[in-house]
Amino acid sequence: METAQQSNETAEKTLFPDEADHLAMIRDKLVDAIERANESVEQTDREYMAVKRYMAQYCGEIDPHEMFQNELSLRQMDKWGVFAVDSRDKLVKLLDSPYFARVDFREAASPNPPAAFYIGRFAFTADGRVLISDWRSPVAGMFYDCEIGPAGYDAPARRITGELTRKRQFKIKGGTLEYVLETSVAIDDAVLQRELSRTADEKMKSIIATIQKEQNRLIRNEQAGTLLIQGVAGSGKTSVALHRVAYLLYRHRGRLLAKNVAILSPSKVFADYISQVLPELGEEPVGVGSFADIAAEQLDGIIRFESEPDPLETAETKWADRVRFKSTLEFKEQMDAYLERMPETIFAPADYTYDRFIATSEWIGSRFAAYRRHPVKRRLQLLAEDIRNRFETENFLGDSLPTSRSILKSLLTRLTIKNTLSLYKDFYKQMNSADKFVMPAKNTLEWADVYPFIYFLAAFEGIREHPLIQHLVIDEMQDYTPTQHAVITLLFSCRKTILGDFGQSIHIRHRHTLNDLRQIYKEAECVELNKSYRSTYEIITFAGRILKAASIEAVERHGEAPELLCCRDGQAEIDQIEQEIEKFGNSGHGTLGIIVKTNAAAQTLFDVLASKQNVNLILPASATFSEGVSIASIQMAKGLEFDRVIIPAANHETYSSEHDRSLLYIACTRAMHRLTLTYTGEITRLLGA
């Protein structure tokens, strides 16, 4: 009996016989290429092992020169082997899904018929012809940006103009042509709807087949030194940032390498979640770290610090006041004002004499001021070298002179403040805000003080910059204070892609805004993405009412309305959740997220359900994202997406404040297809307020 997939394939062959024939030709070419690639890999392996056996067998007889040549050959074969395996793996991926689009383009004034360009994840060349163009190539840009009619693209040498005469989109899976769509616009709604209706994969998916025009402009933006993306939930901003990295690695191959790119991620789980996007696009994985990782590197051997607490679980009033105080742009400006005058207030120039040699206080003061771009202690190092050099030029009689180190030691004694911690304490003292700095233990900082302290460290002693990194991606920008962003600008002087959504802030005590970040990144190009693609129209409309976010545009992909389930008591709510888990198991969906307000609540619910249900628990210490049922706090669920979402305890006791609007919005917008809220007592009034 014919399956639905076979039926689709037959229909497409009938409607588009040219495309069926073309796909068959491409498959044959790919099979041949894979066979040759396998032979190349096997040949390299044989040659490598032959050299290894020869070196082992005659190790006592080979002279050093021959040994060196053999070792060099092994290294070259090893590199070639890696390249051959990588090339073969790309061909295998192409065999499954060679391309997803076709554009027919005729150059201006050309007598030739339009040329057909097929576009896929990777380029494929056979018999001296480009059969598939990489999605990042200039010609592929016409697929995303141009409609039928006048069109063009920027080739390496010049702008090519002409006419776009055809656009088609394909779905090819397992080498089978599932559908072909003739389209005149960038992305046909039917394609977008089909792709969005599919279940979530275990890892974040590539979006190259459904990139929208506005997203494509961001991905291919090479002019912006810093790109600041404010995007609503489900707008694809993280995917855009990762695809932008892939595009830049492709465009600047040889100059920009994977080791030159870093991503600052909000959690290890999210880092794992996005880890396969770049390899899926043919690029090596890039480094992924966190603000805590950077702090640990900068403060190693200097001072300890506490981990960032769950912002929703710490209710101590004075602690909350300290966090709020340090989260504003005004606080960063107060630090700037203090540090601007600090060098001259803590270092008083005085004459430095050594036997008959003297450097006057006036000369020392002028040299100290000349190095104002450097940290204070580096300024003193440079000053000590200047004094030593001056004495050398005056030493006509060959007298003994002090070393630069001994001069520096003398200059350091003239500092009224000796280390960064003392300087940081003095800052609060000068502001009459000594109560705003509290150390939880000896030589240990609260998390809210970590980045302000590093900011002071940069001005006083110096910090370790990262010249190797040429492109930095910062996700969830709204969760980091202006001071944290200011430190990043000191550490990374490279291009940046910074993204987030100020409608999804989990830090109830943070008081900064998007405009504040624009003050930090003054040269940044700022863009907004207001269309949400992740959730169904019903879910995103429901979530938009919670946040009162009129700017959110929901894609017209319809599904079930969110379900509100009232339970008579806590046990009945647990029973209801278990019923929803059972429905999920029979649904064909791949992921179910049970999202609660705090990490402590996630642990409690896991302890209740784990004895009967196969569930995963996502906590700050977790490192991987898995399919199936996951229990997570709102903090840990940020950035993730699930086919289905359950939000327990959706009552007014749990979600009542204005900040809770943001939290409930985050939880709701994790759902792609189905959203269920369970509650006891009175349902949260935020749903109708």
**Regarding predicted confidence, which is higher, 305 or 197?**
305
Helix axes 329-346 and 376-394, enclosed angle (nearest 10):
30
pLDDT range class, residue 1, cuts 50, 70, 90 = very low
Mean pLDDT along residues 290-312: 92
Give the residue from 553, 564, 552, 529 showing the smallest Cα distance to 674.
564
Span 282-304, mean pLDDT? 92
Q: What is the mean pLDDT of residues 622-631?
A: 92
**Per-residue model confidence (pLDDT) at position 359:** 94
> pLDDT tier at 518 (50, 70, 90 boundaries)?
very high
**Of 59, 87, 196, which is closest to residue 533 (Cα–Cα)?**
196
Which is more confident, 1 or 273? 273
List phi, psi (to 5°) of 127: 55, 35
CB 154 within 8 A of CB 90: no
| Strands of 272-423, DSSP E | 287-289, 304-305, 352-354, 357-359
Task: Copy the structure tokens of residue 117.
Answer: 């360009």
422-466 pLDDT, tens digit per residue, is 999 999 999 999 999 999 999 999 999 999 999 999 999 999 999
- More confident of the two residues 440 and 7: 440
Selection from 160, 158, 157, 23 nearest residue 102 by Cα: 23
Mean pLDDT within 6-11: 60
Model pLDDT, residue 183: 74
Q: How sure is the predictor about 151, in pLDDT bands with cuts at 50, 70 and 90?
A: very high
Q: How many CB atoms lie within 10 A of CB 443?
A: 10
For residues 299 and 195, which has the higher predicted lDDT (pLDDT)? 299
**What's the confidence (pLDDT) of residue 189?**
61
Q: Which pLDDT does position 114 carry in this prediction?
A: 94
Tell me the pLDDT tens digit for each residue of 471-507. Answer: 999 999 999 999 999 999 999 999 999 999 998 888 8
pLDDT in tens, 584-605: 999 999 999 999 999 999 999 9
DSSP 148-168: SEEEEEE-SSSEEEEEEEEEE
**613 token code pair:** 């249900």
pLDDT mean over 161-181 = 91
Encode pLDDT of 68-91 as tens digits: 887 888 888 888 878 888 888 889
Global confidence as pTM: 0.87
| Phi/psi of residue 495, nearest 5 degrees | -65, 150
Task: Find the mean pLDDT for residues 548-561.
Answer: 83
Q: Name the CA radius of gyration of the chain, rounded.
A: 31
For residue 133, the model assigns a pLDDT of 95
Helix/strand/coil (H/E/C) assignment for every residue in 558-592: CCCCCEEEEECCHHHHHHHHHHHHHHHHCCCCCEE
Total length of the chain: 689
Here the tokens at position 256 are 């920009």
Phi, psi of 460 (to 5 degrees): -100, -50
Give the span between the Cα atoms of 362 and 571, in whole angstroms: 79
CB 618 within 8 A of CB 269: yes
Angstrom distance (rounded) from CA 668 to CA 647: 8
12 confidence band (pLDDT: 50, 70, 90): low
Q: Which residue has the higher pLDDT, 52 or 633?
A: 633
Q: Sorting pLDDT into bands at 50, 70 and 90, what band is 249?
A: very high
The rounded percent of the chain whose pLDDT value lies above 70 is 94
| Mean pLDDT, the chain, whole residue set | 90
The predicted-structure confidence for 369-391, as pLDDT tens digits, reads as follows: 999 999 999 999 999 999 999 99
Of the listed ranges 8-12, 13-17, 574-578, the one predicted with least confidence: 8-12
Q: Which pLDDT value is given to residue 191?
A: 64
Residue 287's contacts (CB-CB under 8 Å, 6 or more residues apart) are 259, 261, 262, 263
Tokens 């990194």, located at residue: 469
